[in-house]
Amino acid sequence: MPESHERMALTEAVFYILLTLKKPLHGYGIMQKVSEMSGDSVQLGSGTLYGAINTLLNKGWIKIHRQEGTSRKKKEYIITDEGLHIAHQELRRLQHLTTLGEDILGGKDND
């Protein structure tokens, strides 16, 4: 497992955003995709999403893909290589947790 400078769990919102941005999307598209992917169980609030996007841009995990026109500032975002790396790392962390959870709570040897 490649060790990164950060070994902290991502928030659910951030993990979802990184997943949706494998393809370029603008803010509204991210919200729709997240609710679609989660079967309507995760609804990202506009303020929460705006804050998360700015943090991810600052960290360089996502970048601006395209900006439409000048009058209407509709920006499209896409995941960066570093963002992909982080998402993979999170995936492994989650996999480890689910395996562990299944082993212990899964009922094979409940005592």
CA 35 to chain CA mean position, Å: 13
Kindly state the smallest distance separating residue 84's Cβ from other proteins, in Å: 22
- Token pair for 107: 């009922």
Q: Please tell me the count of residues contacting other proteins according to CB under 8 A.
A: 19
| Per-residue mark of binding to other proteins, 34-53 (x: CB under 8 A) | ---------xxxxxxxxx--
Kindly state the smallest distance separating residue 20's Cβ from other proteins, in Å: 14
Helix and strand numbers, DSSP H then E, in the chain: 4, 3
Q: How many degrees, rounded to 5, is the angle at CA 16 between CA 47 and CA 21? A: 95
- Pick between residue 44 and residue 79 the one whose CB is nearest to other proteins: 44
H or E element in which residue 41 lies: none
- Does 28 bind other proteins (CB under 8 A)? Our answer is yes
H or E element in which residue 2 lies: none
- 91 pairs with which residues across the strands? none
Kindly state the smallest distance separating residue 34's Cβ from other proteins, in Å: 10
Kindly state the smallest distance separating residue 68's Cβ from other proteins, in Å: 10
**Interface positions with other proteins (CB under 8 A):** 11-13, 26-28, 31, 43-51, 72-74
